[in-house]
């Protein structure tokens, strides 16, 4: 099994940091390893306290997992101070694993997570060792001194990080840009690539950690960098779309969506396949996955005239969604000669309609 190491801080709210990284690694089928740099007391609203781990303990964690288990790729997140940055750089030089540097400087809530004097150490010691660096716009501005207002500025910053700071590649994430879509700019091997996705404003806590962790997991699996970035973009977009509201601040991205959605769609397909012969030409049966996935029309399957298709018609989807909001647990709708019958499963609605005994 492939392994990926996260060298970062712990988020007691479970939305970012090593908690987000480990969930991301697991979503790609990669075994996660950990070197904790700091313990934080935080939630979706604020970072209340930070306790840094001594550099020698950080080094010991890295050494322990490398020497026994092995590391196929690693990433950094919150490093906290210059001493830890130097320690990590020394470990990368010693063990030579592919490294993704997520230059975490400020928490979503606004709390500083990297001491000011550590930024120069990051630029001079760690970034030159990175396979790829993944700053957001404010981080890229701090690293390069370039004011980023649009895509051309993002391209200049990505190129600067590679050609002036010495990274192997750089992805400037575009979530902070005032565009109609989220555009991430990669500079690698002397050329640019843009990764575009919808600009989603839902649950975004932990998106940066999850993005860099997804790249790391894909690199650990042996995939090329450009494909790894593409998969990471898809992963984070899906995680935001299916974010689960938790807390009273920015809610966390849903890393589980990457595996949940295809698995749940397959289960629904099987569920409808088992009752196909009992649904006549005068009936339509639709089933959805549980929330939050059931709120997406593309995840709702419809059995009609012996065929199963995903992407329910809007009228059927609206009927099912309204009932699910009124009665949580409702997943299926049978339209029998125009009359709606709701239930928690395909078999239940067929029983209510008197069709379960049909052969």
pLDDT in tens, 21-54: 999 999 999 999 999 999 999 999 999 999 999 9
- Which stretches of 242-313 are DSSP H helices? 257-274
Catalytic residue, candidates 209, 251, 287, 332:
209
- What are the residue boundaries of the structural domains of the chain, listed by start? 3-255, 264-353
* Coarse DSSP helix, strand, coil percentages of the chain, rounded to the nearest 5 percent: 40, 25, 35
- Paired with 226 in beta bridges are none
- Packing angle, helices 257-274 and 225-241, rounded to 10: 70
| Of the candidate ranges 263-267, 282-286, 299-303, the one whose mean pLDDT is the lowest | 282-286
Topology (CATH) of 3-255: 3.40.1190
Check pLDDT > 70 for residue 357: no
pLDDT in tens, 158-192: 999 999 999 999 999 987 787 788 999 999 999 99
What is the phi/psi pair of residue 211, to 5°? -65, -50
Give the span between the Cα atoms of 85 and 115, in whole angstroms: 11
Catalytic residue, candidates 17, 168, 206, 343:
206
Confidence of residue 358 (pLDDT cuts 50, 70, 90): low
Catalytic residue, candidates 24, 44, 108, 204:
204
pLDDT in tens, 208-225: 999 999 999 999 999 999
Among left, alpha and beta (phi > 0; psi -120 to 50; other), residue 199 is beta
Give the span between the Cα atoms of 232 and 350, in whole angstroms: 41
Highest mean pLDDT among 42-51, 101-110, 159-168, 239-248: 159-168
Catalytic residue, candidates 108, 207, 216, 330:
207
Which of 342, 97, 319, 103 minimizes the C-alpha distance to 209? 103
Which of 212, 206, 171 minimizes the C-alpha distance to 74? 212
Active site residue 173: yes
Active site residue 209: yes
Check pLDDT > 60 for residue 339: yes
Give the span between the Cα atoms of 188 and 221, in whole angstroms: 19
Catalytic residue, candidates 9, 32, 208, 239:
208
Which of 120, 38, 41 minimizes the C-alpha distance to 79? 38
| Of the candidate ranges 104-118, 247-261, 319-333, the one whose mean pLDDT is the lowest | 104-118
What is the reported pLDDT for 126? 98
Active site residue 204: yes
Check pLDDT > 60 for residue 246: yes
Give the three-state DSSP class for 160. helix
* 8 Å CB contact between 311 and 239: no
């Amino acid at each position: 099994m492939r392994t990926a190491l996260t060298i970062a801080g712990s988020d007691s709210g479970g939305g970012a940091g090593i908690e987000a990284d480990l969930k991301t690694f697991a979503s790609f089928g990669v075994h996660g390893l950990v070197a904790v740099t700091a313990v934080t007391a935080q939630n979706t609203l604020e970072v209340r306290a930070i306790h840094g781990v001594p550099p020698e303990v950080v080094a010991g964690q890295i050494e322990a997992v490398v020497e026994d288990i092995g590391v196929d790729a690693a990433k950094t997140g919150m490093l906290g101070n210059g001493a830890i940055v130097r320690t990590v750089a020394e470990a990368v030089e010693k063990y030579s694993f592919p490294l993704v540097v997520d230059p975490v400087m400020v928490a979503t809530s606004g709390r500083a997570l990297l001491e000011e004097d550590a930024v120069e150490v990051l630029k001079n010691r760690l970034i030159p060792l990175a396979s790829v660096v993944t700053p957001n716009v404010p981080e890229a501005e701090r690293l390069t001194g370039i004011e980023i207002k649009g895509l051309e500025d993002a391209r200049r910053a990505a190129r600067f990080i590679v050609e002036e700071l010495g990274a192997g590649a750089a992805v400037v994430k575009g979530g902070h840009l005032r565009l109609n879509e989220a555009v991430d700019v990669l500079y690698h091997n002397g050329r640019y690539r843009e990764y575009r996705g919808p600009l989603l404003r839902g649950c975004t806590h932990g998106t940066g950690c999850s993005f860099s962790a997804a790249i790391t997991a894909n690199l650990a699996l042996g995939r090329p960098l450009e494909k790894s970035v593409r998969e990471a973009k898809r992963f984070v977009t899906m995680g935001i779309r299916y974010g689960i509201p938790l807390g009273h601040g920015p809610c966390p991205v849903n890393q589980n969506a990457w595996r949940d959605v295809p698995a749940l769609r397959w289960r629904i397909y099987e569920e409808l396949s088992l009752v196909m012969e009992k649904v006549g030409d005068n009936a339509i049966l639709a089933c959805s996955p549980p929330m939050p996935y059931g709120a997406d029309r593309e995840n709702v399957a419809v059995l009609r005239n012996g065929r199963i298709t995903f992407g329910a018609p809007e009228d059927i989807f609206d009927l099912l969604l309204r009932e699910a909001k009124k009665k949580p647990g409702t997943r299926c709708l049978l339209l029998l000669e125009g009359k709606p019958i709701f239930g928690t499963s395909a078999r239940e609605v067929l029983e209510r309609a008197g069709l379960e005994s049909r052969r």
